Structure formats: structure tokens, C-alpha cells
């Protein structure tokens, strides 16, 4: 039963990924004319263009190109960046840890802070604290995350210059130890991670709040109260663990938004991750890199969805009996 369910989920995820590869190929090969992308100098002669086509295998029929492309993708060959002439895979692998660091920190803080705020608000429903938190999360939900990032720069790097406004590490500094370097990176991480946290916080808070409100009206909570246990103990031991479940699903759904936020926030802070790489590729019209980052972003989101499904399966026994 559970094995079958798991196989189904994994198969669906793989199928989605296969469609990404197919879509990716046709999008870039059919909608964008690769020869105009390759011949970046307008004065390229027809002979040169023919040679370029042969070099990139573009003189083959479309289906043959597609087979090549899928084969390359599976082997981890995502082509060569038109700008840097480096393999796209290397550029992605260089950028990936930085994105994971930023996204991980932001998501972690937003989850902890958001669920804590959700519990506070749900237990004080209709009071001033609740209203203030609702207003705050509606505002951060509606505002562009990169604008929040710019305001953070304005306040904490320009008006009160206590934090660096960009990059991941102070340039040109020889660090005495890895600890000193880590401290420097952490200092550079504060502002972008805060922007990322503020972007996610509203959603986490709203879900946790409404989930807590639901749980608090359930019978078992009334029963626990009737046994004479202290209220804050009932909330902590019985309500919160049950209310946390929807947050798991949300983290996965949010991952698409996280990816979008990574692109704009990394751009603002010159944070050398996948988002910054994407931004450079947009400006340089570097299509192989754009194709590669799109693939890796989709892969990340699909994987996150799958992990959330599996996690939910183990956390909520009700799913297993369905």
C-alpha cells in the first residue's frame, strides 16, 4: 500500500521532469532561432553560420537534435555559456551552494518565526497583537521582495552603515582562518536572508494562524482543557503539533515562490547564486545558461514537492489509510 503510493509519487515526479526537458528543448530550439543566438556578430557570413550550425549539431533533423539534447542533459552536459565560454554545469555548480545557503537560511527563519507568530495570533484572536500581525503579513505579502531588499540596503547600509549592501564576502581580504571568513559571509548574509524571510513570513504566518484557529476549535482540545491541564500546556503539547502539518505542504508549494525570490533578491545583493546567474544570462541573452537555470529551478521545485509529499505521508497517518 504505502510502497505503491510512493512509487506513484516518484513516477509522477520523474514524468514532470521529463516534460520539463522536452519543453525546455522545444522552447529554446523552436521559439528562439538558435542561429541568431549563436551568431552574435551581425556580420557573420552564411558560411560561418553553416559552420556554427554543424558545430552545435543544428544541421541535423529536429528529432535527432532532440535525442542529442536529452542524452546530453541526462549525462549532465548542459552546453557552453555563450558569455563566459565555461560549461553551464560548472557555472550552476559554483552558484548552487550560495543559493542553498540563502534560501535555506531564509526559509528556516521564516518557518520558525511564522509559526511562532501564528500561534501567538491564533491564541489572541481579534486582539491588537493579532491585528498588527495580520496587517504586517498582508503588507509583506503584497510588496515586491526586491523592493523590501532595496529598503533594507537604504536603511542598514546607507543611512546606518552597519552592514554590507552586497556580495557574499568582503573582496580582496585575506582571512586569517576559515572562522573569520565564515563570520564575514554571515555578515553579508544578514540583509539578503532578511529580505527572503520577510518575503515568506506572511504566508507561513497566515497558514499557521488559520491552522491553529481550526485545531483550537476541535473537540480534543476542549477535552484536554476539561481535564484541568494548563492552557499554555494544551496549546504547546496538543494544538501546535497538529497545526504544524499544513506548514509542511506549504513549504513545498512555496518553493516556486522561493525560486522567484532568489532571482530578484540575489540580483539586488549581487549574491553569486543561481538567481544572479539567471539575471546575468537575461542581460547577456545567454540562452544555454538560461536554459540550464530553468532546468535546475524546475528540478528543485519538483524535488521539494516530492519530499513534502513523502514527509506528509509519514507525519499524517490519515493519508496512509486513504
Partner 1 sequence: MRESGALKLLTDTWRGRFGVAVILVAVFVSIFGTLIAPYEPEASSLDVLQPPSLDHWLGTTESGADVFSQLLVGTRVSVLVGFAAAIISAVLGSMVGIASGYFGGWTDRILDALENWFLVIPTLPLMIVLARLLDPSLIVLIAVIGFTSWAGTGRIVRAQVLTLRERSFVERARALGAGDGYIIRTHILPNTLPLIFASTVLIIAVAILSEAALAFLGLGDPTRISWGTMLQNAFDSGAPSAGAWWYVIPPGLCITLLVLAVSLLGFLYEEYINPRLRRES
Residues 6+ apart with CB under 8 A from 176: none
Interacting residue with partner 1 among 101, 102, 268, 308 (CB under 8 A): 268
CA atoms within 13 A on the CB side of 64: 6
CA-based torsion, 302, 304, 308, 314: positive or negative = positive
Q: Which residue, among 278, 279, 276, 277, has the nearest Cα to 266 in the 3D structure?
A: 276
Instruction: Report how many residues bind partner 1 under the rule CB under 8 A.
Output: 50
Site for partner 1 in 29-68 (CB under 8 A): 31-32
Task: Report if residue 204 touches partner 1, rule: CB under 8 A.
Answer: no
Instruction: Using the minimum distance from each CB to partner 1, give the nearer residue, 115 or 137.
Output: 137
Instruction: Using the minimum distance from each CB to partner 1, give the nearer residue, 41 or 158.
Output: 158
Per-residue cell: 174: 585575506
Site for partner 1 in 281-310 (CB under 8 A): 282-283, 285, 287, 290-291, 293-294, 297-298, 300-302, 305
Interacting residue with partner 1 among 70, 120, 150, 248 (CB under 8 A): 150
Provide the minimum distance between the beta carbon of 257 and partner 1 in the complex, in angstroms, as a whole number: 8
Residue count (the chain)? 322
CA distances 303 to 201, 256, 265, 308, Å, are 22, 11, 22, 9
Per-residue cell: 303: 524535488
| Structural contact between residues 265 and 146, judged by C-beta atoms closer than 8 angstroms | yes
Provide the minimum distance between the beta carbon of 225 and partner 1 in the complex, in angstroms, as a whole number: 20
Dihedral pair phi/psi, residue 315, rounded to 5°: -80, -35
Burial class (CB in 10 A: 0-12, 13-18, 19+), 161: exposed
Interacting residue with partner 1 among 80, 153, 191, 247 (CB under 8 A): 153
Site for partner 1 in 100-139 (CB under 8 A): 126, 138-139
Provide the minimum distance between the beta carbon of 15 and partner 1 in the complex, in angstroms, as a whole number: 8
Contact residues: partner 1, CB under 8 A: 12, 16, 19-20, 27-28, 31-32, 126, 138-139, 141-144, 146-148, 150-151, 153-154, 157-159, 165, 255-256, 259-260, 263-264, 267-268, 278-279, 282-283, 285, 287, 290-291, 293-294, 297-298, 300-302, 305
Amino acid at each position: 500500500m504505502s510502497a505503491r503510493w510512493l512509487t506513484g509519487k516518484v513516477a509522477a515526479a520523474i514524468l514532470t521532469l521529463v516534460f520539463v526537458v522536452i519543453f525546455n528543448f522545444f522552447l529554446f530550439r523552436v521559439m528562439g532561432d538558435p542561429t541568431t543566438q549563436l551568431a552574435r556578430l551581425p556580420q557573420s557570413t552564411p558560411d560561418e553560420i553553416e559552420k556554427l550550425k554543424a558545430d552545435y549539431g543544428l544541421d541535423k533533423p529536429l528529432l535527432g537534435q532532440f535525442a542529442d539534447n536529452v542524452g546530453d542533459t541526462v549525462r549532465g552536459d548542459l552546453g557552453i555559456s555563450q558569455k563566459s565560454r565555461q560549461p553551464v554545469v560548472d557555472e550552476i555548480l559554483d552558484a548552487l551552494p550560495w543559493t542553498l545557503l540563502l534560501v535555506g537560511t531564509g526559509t528556516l527563519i521564516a518557518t520558525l518565526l511564522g509559526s511562532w507568530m501564528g500561534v501567538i495570533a491564533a491564541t489572541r484572536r481579534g486582539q491588537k497583537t493579532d491585528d498588527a500581525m495580520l496587517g504586517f503579513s498582508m503588507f509583506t505579502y503584497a510588496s515586491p521582495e526586491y523592493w523590501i531588499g532595496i529598503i533594507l540596503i537604504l536603511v542598514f547600509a546607507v543611512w546606518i552603515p552597519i552592514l554590507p549592501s552586497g556580495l557574499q564576502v568582503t573582496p580582496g581580504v585575506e582571512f586569517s582562518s576559515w572562522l573569520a571568513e565564515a563570520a564575514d559571509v554571515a555578515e553579508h548574509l544578514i540583509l539578503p536572508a532578511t529580505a527572503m524571510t520577510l518575503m515568506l513570513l506572511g504566508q507561513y504566518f497566515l497558514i499557521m494562524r488559520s491552522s491553529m484557529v481550526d485545531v483550537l476549535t476541535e473537540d480534543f482540545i476542549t477535552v484536554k482543557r476539561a481535564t484541568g491541564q494548563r492552557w499554555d500546556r494544551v496549546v504547546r503539547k496538543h494544538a501546535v503539533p497538529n497545526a504544524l502539518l499544513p506548514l509542511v505542504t506549504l513549504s513545498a508549494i512555496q518553493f516556486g515562490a522561493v525560486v522567484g525570490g532568489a532571482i530578484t533578491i540575489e540580483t539586488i545583493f549581487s549574491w553569486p547564486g543561481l538567481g544572479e546567474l539567471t539575471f546575468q544570462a537575461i542581460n547577456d541573452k545567454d540562452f544555454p545558461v538560461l536554459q540550464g537555470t530553468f532546468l535546475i529551478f524546475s528540478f528543485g521545485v519538483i524535488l521539494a514537492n516530492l519530499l513534502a509529499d513523502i514527509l506528509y505521508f509519514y507525519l499524517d497517518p490519515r493519508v496512509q489509510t486513504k
